[in-house]
Amino acid sequence: GNSVTQMEGPVTLSEEAFLTINCTYTATGYPSLFWYVQYPGEGLQLLLKATKADDKGSNKGFEATYRKETTSFHLEKGSVQVSDSAVYFCALRGNTPLVFGKGTRLSVIA
């Protein structure tokens, strides 16, 4: 079945550091890929998405490119801020309901 694997956390970075959170997937067919973010005490918000191979999703300085050849959708940001501290979930949606990775907690320190 479909599955998502993302890097274990927690990840701790200093402000202005470069961020990469790895995400790989297994799926049949051609799923769409998503990154959701969960700020402390809140629900999940869509951060970005990509619906086909080579698409790049971007939002709030975050980017991720749908790589079919490596079945990956890594999240990147060039310069993180303290306000980016949150839990990040990679997810896919194909012919099945949305499937999530286990989440990666990011802490950014000033």
Work out whether strand 99-100 and strand 104-109 pair parallel, antiparallel, or are unpaired.
unpaired
Does 79 bind other proteins (CB under 8 A)? Our answer is: no
Please name the residue that has the structure tokens 């990679």: 90
Q: Which of 10, 42, 70, 110 binds other proteins (CB under 8 A)?
A: 42
| Only segment of 18-26, 65-73, 77-85, 90-98 that touches other proteins (CB under 8 A) | 90-98
Please name the residue that has the structure tokens 């303290």: 82
| Only segment of 12-20, 56-64, 65-73, 93-101 that touches other proteins (CB under 8 A) | 93-101
| Only segment of 14-22, 37-45, 67-75, 76-84 that touches other proteins (CB under 8 A) | 37-45
The candidate with the shortest Cα–Cα distance to 30, out of 92, 78, 76, 73, is 92
* Strands (E) located in 7-101: 11-14, 19-21, 23-26, 32-38, 44-50, 56-59, 62-65, 75-77, 86-93, 99-100
Does 17 bind other proteins (CB under 8 A)? Our answer is: no
Q: Give me the least distance between CB of 15 and other proteins, in Å please.
A: 27
Binding residues (CB under 8 A) for other proteins: these are: 30-32, 34, 36, 42-46, 49, 51, 89, 93-95, 97-98, 100-103
